[in-house]
Amino acid sequence: MARVLSTSRLRLRPWDEADATLLARMSATPAVMRHIGDGAIWTEARVAQVAARNVEHWRLHGFGWRIASQVQGGSPIGFFALSFAGEGAGVDAAEHELGWWLAPEAWGRGLAREGAAALRDEAFERVGAPSVVARVAPANGRSLAVAAAIGMQPERDGIGRAGEPIRILRLTRSRWSPVPRDG
């Protein structure tokens, strides 16, 4: 099993307990949180809950959120999600969901679409997902562009966990193969 994924510029390793620190820092950054849920920064309890859930997801399913660092070295720049959507997400709980959060200093270089493409391919090649979904705020243009760049198409609009509007995008396995790697 490939525990670490590599792209031309990124190293993507499985989430572990210590990554609660990165999640705490990112979820306290207003620019990052602007289009997440209701836009509020997360409480310590929420950070701990999500961090622990990600450890458990890896243990139960053998895939999950990944921490991204640049191959060139340096500290983590963010993370990419591949996980079951779970209850209350506005999509079926068993959907394979992709997500991406980068620290603002890493934006604007194509790193999000590069990492997202790697997890998309992992979902189809290793995990065996029939399709992948993303839930994106319709106002989150940067994230919608990432989804489009990896071949996802808008499916419908709905309501997220915090009552916020979300756009659901999907890529099915049958439409996946022609999509190029690395954005």
Ligand X SMILES: CC(C)(COP(=O)(O)OP(=O)(O)OC[C@H]1O[C@@H](n2cnc3c(N)ncnc32)[C@H](O)[C@@H]1OP(=O)(O)O)[C@@H](O)C(=O)NCCC(=O)NCCS
Min dist CB 110 to ligand X, Å, is 2
Stretch in the footprint of ligand X (CB under 6 A) among 96-104, 124-132, 156-164, 170-178? 96-104
Q: Which of 25, 109, 173, 181 binds ligand X (CB under 6 A)?
A: 109
**35/170 with CB nearer ligand X:** 35
Site for ligand X in 2-31 (CB under 6 A): none
What is the spatial distance between Cα 167 and Cα 157, in angstroms, rounded to a whole number? 4
What is the spatial distance between Cα 162 and Cα 154, in angstroms, rounded to a whole number? 21
3-state secondary structure string across 40-98: CCCCHHHHHHHHHHHHHHHHHHCCCCEEEEECCCCCCCEEEEEEECCCCCCCCCCCEEE
Question: Phi, psi at residue 167, to the nearest 5°?
Answer: -105, 130
Using the Cα atoms of residue 153, residue 78, residue 73 and residue 48 in order, give the sign of their dihedral: negative
The reply to whether 149 sits near ligand X by the rule CB under 6 A is: yes
Q: Which of 69, 70, 140, 172 binds ligand X (CB under 6 A)?
A: 140
The residue length of the chain stands at: 183
β-strand pairing of 96-102 with 131-136:
parallel
The reply to whether 79 sits near ligand X by the rule CB under 6 A is: no
Instruction: Tell me the residue nearest to ligand X as measured from the CB.
Output: 110
**116/129 with CB nearer ligand X:** 116
Stretch in the footprint of ligand X (CB under 6 A) among 47-55, 84-92, 105-113, 168-176? 105-113
Question: Interface residues with ligand X (CB under 6 A)?
Answer: 32, 35-36, 99-102, 107-113, 136, 140, 142-143, 145-146, 149, 183
